[in-house]
Amino acid sequence: MSPLSSLITIERTDRQSVYLQISNQIMVFIKDGILPADHRLPSTRELAGLLGVHRKTVVQAYDELLAQGWLESHTGRGTFVAANLPILKPSGIGSQPFTNGLKTAGFSLNPASYTERPIMSYGQGLHLDDGFPDVRLAPLEELSRAYRGQLLTGNAYTRLGYGDTKGSIWLRQQLSAYLNTSRGLHTTPENILIVRGTIMGLYLSSNGLISKGDSVVTGVTTWAGANTNFAQAGAKIHTIPVDEYGIDVDALESLCQNVKIRMVYVTSHHHYPTTVALRADRRMKLLKLAGQFGFVIFEDDYDYDFHYLSKPLLPLAGADPKGMVLYCGSFTKSIAPAFRVGYLVGAENVIDRFAGIRRIIDRQGDVVLENAIAELLQTGVIQRHMRKSLRTYRSRRDFFCELLGSELSQHITFQVPDGGLAVWAKFDKSVDMKAMSENAFRKGLGMSNGLGHGLPAGENFTRLGFASSNFQELEASVQILKGLLS
Amino acid sequence: MSPLSSLITIERTDRQSVYLQISNQIMVFIKDGILPADHRLPSTRELAGLLGVHRKTVVQAYDELLAQGWLESHTGRGTFVAANLPILKPSGIGSQPFTNGLKTAGFSLNPASYTERPIMSYGQGLHLDDGFPDVRLAPLEELSRAYRGQLLTGNAYTRLGYGDTKGSIWLRQQLSAYLNTSRGLHTTPENILIVRGTIMGLYLSSNGLISKGDSVVTGVTTWAGANTNFAQAGAKIHTIPVDEYGIDVDALESLCQNVKIRMVYVTSHHHYPTTVALRADRRMKLLKLAGQFGFVIFEDDYDYDFHYLSKPLLPLAGADPKGMVLYCGSFTKSIAPAFRVGYLVGAENVIDRFAGIRRIIDRQGDVVLENAIAELLQTGVIQRHMRKSLRTYRSRRDFFCELLGSELSQHITFQVPDGGLAVWAKFDKSVDMKAMSENAFRKGLGMSNGLGHGLPAGENFTRLGFASSNFQELEASVQILKGLLS
């Protein structure tokens, strides 16, 4: 009897198929010298009988090892451990039993170049979130149909092969027309890079424009995700105050007189997280300072579409003939966060450079999805959806702010926001925000504790997103909060 | 008569809507001091009449300017240029006429950190490409149905909200089981990061593990895209020879004795571009050297599924209990290049670190598509598709190699590849590869001139992809080549 059969163990409940279990174990025996070079193996019929498996399984296992060069077959004589294997009994390689799921790599990791922010989960129940859209309103049927059409129609080789790193030309054409008409921009499709949301616009801009030690200016408070991105690119971050009219551009001017500034990050339309709009004279001055001091303005227009006072302000990018502004927006709020399609707008030479960087990151976007969105823009589906959403969100804002006023005015103060999908709410100093948020989660209400906004201790602010909940859900959410605060 | 109406010009053919044309021009007049603070504007009715537009259009324009703070409305008295605007006549801001499509930004660009590779187009006609799959075979109907299901079914808030940076847990579960069973890996879902193709696996690995000046080893020849990625991370690239058994691991050993190596890049299964498999003893030695010298092995398994000799070799990653290997694959070749879904496999601490980097690049993948692919893996659609493709590609390989032998043996020599989707073809020294490729393109045949592989002048090699063409197309392609070479 061959000793081999007593060494091999087969776990039929294992995820790995039986032939691989056999071939892997034989490989280990060869590596470990248990089966020496030129050792003759039992015939497949013999081993199959001893192991109680189908002969075909052993044939598969041997074939595997033959293909890998561990075994040699000599016609008429049988199967042997290969003669020309290097004689090795490596320490640790192949001689340890494998367990699935290695925890730690054998090589070292460099220190991380930035601090990771925790990921907030709002759970599956009620939510007063960071200001997300209500994806139940999104034109998903239309999107599904358009996706199918783009997937199945036309020349498959070009449609489903490698595409343009700048993104679908159709989507860039549609977006160019849309942004020029509705937001007063001055673009051609060559001024547009399709990106995977604002975060990629920030990543490309940071890595394409910021050198280690360059100075970047953000407001206090601001979106921490932007700061993380600037930090990983090696930026030195300077901060300027934010008041009810947005960032303080006089403070920026003073700063510019002392420090060479490379980039200023601004959420001009609805300041994040406080929701206020940058006032017209400040916009003018910001543009003027950019021209004067030569800095880049990164205009993050994350929720342009949702403004409740007559018409929204136009972006800075529309009043920037010198090309100081990089303008970034996405379909995160106008369709759903899961669709990672956004746009970065700038002068052609910048867009070209960023496309070159993008090429080595992920080569290109999702051209099928991009074309589906282009179709929905061309047919006006997205525009209609946004008008409908705007009306819905305005009524939810009004309903929610009334509720907050009538039910929670003892604990929460706030301004009714002119736009955006969240209320910037100040909680009473006595509230332990962290405990409140954790207790809310236990009661089925997801909400942020606001600590990620980097305010001083005792400054109890957080964003309460109202757009993703209907009236009943808003009512139930406020009742949970009321129960916790009373 | 107000002078305003004579200053405003309206282009009805312009992409910009009429109200925006009006409001933008008025804004410029205010900025330029043509309309001073407190200046009274004509009534909307009056201006509408003078401009020959609907009154509603002028109301919209004024509303825009009121919202932006350029104008003030005093009930009963009319509309005025705002009193509290800063007095400014900025040089260049707003005073220049806009033309769509700025070419050059107003800020400077840093020098690029690497040389961009040209993008090869194979056109819309015939193609002997780099080794792409035939997307006409892909299970697009099934994919479309699965996509629709994932888009429309379940809790929309969680399904279409922000998701896990590591990728769909369902896809990671399916992939873990699939990779363990079919490729002998030892993974749990926590060892898998869903990426947007191999290029993102390389980008994360380069930026996560390589510090400026670190040494990386690649073969000569190799995939230039990998070198670009290592170069942008600041790596010093060392090369070792490649022969008919893959990279020369003895040369690697000598190198390791002199230089501290951080990473070795290997296409172990089908060396790119030459298609040969790394021999079993070299695989063993490579793993042993990684353990001994502490370097990372980046195993790019770009077309594992397509091997025509019994069973494919198993990946290095399956014989790596120490965790020296990062294993990367994608659905580029098994579905289509347009679907940017791949997987990076490694120890948990590495996957966690890379997920942190990914979070600031694009936050997450396309979870709807990822779930659709998970469904197709679970139901076996992708596995069946790959088995069918393998048979088809094998017959195309045989057909194509016979054609090359019978029609072009005077000009081309090659080995029949054991796997992969392309033939590594050596053209006669007399052939001007660049001219031939350009002439072929003019005749409707897309093919690479092979110069991107970085071979010495006169070494006339290129890849001729056979998988994406059927017999008729292969026949027609070879006839075009024959015409050009005769």
Report the complex ipTM: 0.82
Query: Closest Cα partner for B433 from B414, B456, B450?
Result: B450
The reply to whether B213 touches chain A by the CB within 8 Å rule is no
The reply to whether B323 touches chain A by the CB within 8 Å rule is yes
| A353 contact residues in B (CB cutoff 8 A) | 109, 112
A69/B311 touch (CB, cutoff 8 Å), yes or no = no
* pLDDT at res. B85: 65
pLDDT at residue B144 greater than cutoff 70: yes
The reply to whether B321 touches chain A by the CB within 8 Å rule is yes
Lookup result for tokens 């129940």: A125
Query: What is the pairing mode between strands A215-220 and A192-195?
Result: unpaired
- Determine which of B362, B445, B477 to mutate to test the interface with A (most A C-beta atoms within 10 Å): B362
Strands (E), B19-101: 71-74, 78-81
- Residue type present at position A447: M
Q: What percent of chain A has pLDDT over 70?
A: 94
* pLDDT at res. B154: 83
B100/A312 touch (CB, cutoff 8 Å), yes or no = no
Question: Sorting pLDDT into bands at 50, 70 and 90, what band is A258?
Answer: very high
Mean pLDDT for the stretch of residues B89-105: 60
> Three-class SS of residue B242?
strand
* Nearest by CB: B323 against A104, A110, A313: A104
Q: Which two tokens stand for residue A56?
A: 């075909």
A188/B100 touch (CB, cutoff 8 Å), yes or no = yes
Contact assessment for residue B360 and residue A203, using Cβ atoms and an 8 Å cutoff: yes
- Range with the lowest mean pLDDT among A405-409, B450-454, B481-485? B450-454
Q: What is the pLDDT of residues B212-235, one digit of tens each?
A: 999 999 999 999 999 999 999 999
Q: What is the pLDDT of residues B341-372, one digit of tens each?
A: 999 999 999 999 999 999 999 999 999 999 99
Question: Sorting pLDDT into bands at 50, 70 and 90, what band is A32?
Answer: low
In whole numbers, what is the pLDDT of chain B averaged over residues? 90
Give phi and psi for A166, each to the nearest 5: -75, -10
Q: What is the pLDDT of residues B172-188, one digit of tens each?
A: 999 999 999 889 999 99
| B288 contact residues in A (CB cutoff 8 A) | 88, 90, 93
Query: Closest Cα partner for A465 from A169, A122, A236, A230?
Result: A122
A314/B64 touch (CB, cutoff 8 Å), yes or no = yes
pLDDT at residue A65 greater than cutoff 80: yes
Query: Closest Cα partner for B283 from B257, B322, B245, B310?
Result: B245
Locate the chain A residue with the closest alpha carbon to B199. Answer: A362
The Cα-based distances of A32 to A92, A96, A272, B317, B318 in angstroms read: 10, 10, 61, 18, 16
Q: What is the pLDDT of residues A314-341, one digit of tens each?
A: 899 999 999 999 999 999 998 999 999 9
* pLDDT at res. B312: 66
User: Which of A65-74, A338-347, B96-105 shows the highest mean pLDDT?
Assistant: A338-347
A148/B148 touch (CB, cutoff 8 Å), yes or no = yes
- pTM metric for this prediction: 0.82
Locate the chain B residue with the closest alpha carbon to A231. Answer: B360
pLDDT at residue A86 greater than cutoff 70: no
The reply to whether A111 touches chain B by the CB within 8 Å rule is no
Query: Closest Cα partner for B424 from B272, B212, B294?
Result: B272
pLDDT at residue A135 greater than cutoff 50: yes
pLDDT at residue A449 greater than cutoff 50: yes
* pLDDT at res. B457: 83
Question: Sorting pLDDT into bands at 50, 70 and 90, what band is B156?
Answer: confident
pLDDT at residue A241 greater than cutoff 70: yes
The reply to whether B338 touches chain A by the CB within 8 Å rule is yes
Question: Sorting pLDDT into bands at 50, 70 and 90, what band is B313?
Answer: confident
pLDDT at residue A413 greater than cutoff 70: yes
pLDDT at residue B153 greater than cutoff 50: yes
Cβ-based neighbours of B265, under 8 Å, separated by 6 or more:
B216, B217, B218, B219, B222, B223, B226, B230, B298, B300
Question: Sorting pLDDT into bands at 50, 70 and 90, what band is B458?
Answer: confident
Domains and CATH numbers, chain B: 3-103 (1.10.10.10), 126-131+384-485 (3.90.1150.10), 138-382 (3.40.640.10)
pLDDT at residue A154 greater than cutoff 90: no
In whole numbers, what is the pLDDT of chain A averaged over residues? 90
| A181 contact residues in B (CB cutoff 8 A) | 15-17, 20
The string of DSSP letters for A155-201 reads: -HHHHSS---TT--HHHHHHHHHHHHHHH-----GGGEEEESSHHHH
Contact assessment for residue A55 and residue A45, using Cβ atoms and an 8 Å cutoff: yes
